[in-house]
């Protein structure tokens, strides 16, 4: 498991089956997660930065999923800072951003 802390955006290459967590310390109106994979979905959970997000599982219950269509997933966010945990069964490159 890797952990990263940035202000607005982080791009990482996932390790198959490993949960990585990105803390975004900036402000914004949405959290956007995108992936470069056309074959591997990416699952993720979100929380306030001061909390611990639920542990995501591959396409698991209560997880958001970036499908292989290439379309990013955008979650409305009304607050400062966020924590996003991501997992995939392959090694896609993902971008996690606090936008707006």
Determine whether domain 3-99 maps to CATH 2.40.40.20. no
HSE-CB at 48 with a 13 A cutoff on CA atoms is: 5
For residue 79, the model assigns a pLDDT of 76
Mean pLDDT across the chain: 94
pLDDT, one tens digit per residue, over 31-65 is: 999 999 999 999 999 999 999 999 999 989 999 99
- Taking the domains of the chain in order of start, what are their residue ranges? 3-99
Token pair of 49, please?
Answer: 């930065």
- The position carrying tokens 């979100």 is 46
- Asked if 4 and 13 touch (Cβ cutoff 8 Å), the reply is no
């Amino acid at each position: 498991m890797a952990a990263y802390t940035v202000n607005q955006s982080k791009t990482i290459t996932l390790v198959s089956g490993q949960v990585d967590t990105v803390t975004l310390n900036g402000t914004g109106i949405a959290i956007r997660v995108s992936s470069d994979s056309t074959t591997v979905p990416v699952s993720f959970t979100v929380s306030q930065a001061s909390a611990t997000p639920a542990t995501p599982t591959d396409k698991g219950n209560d997880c958001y999923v970036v499908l292989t269509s290439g379309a990013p997933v955008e979650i409305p966010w009304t607050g400062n800072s966020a924590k996003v945990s991501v997992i995939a069964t392959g090694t896609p490159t993902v971008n996690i951003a606090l936008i707006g």
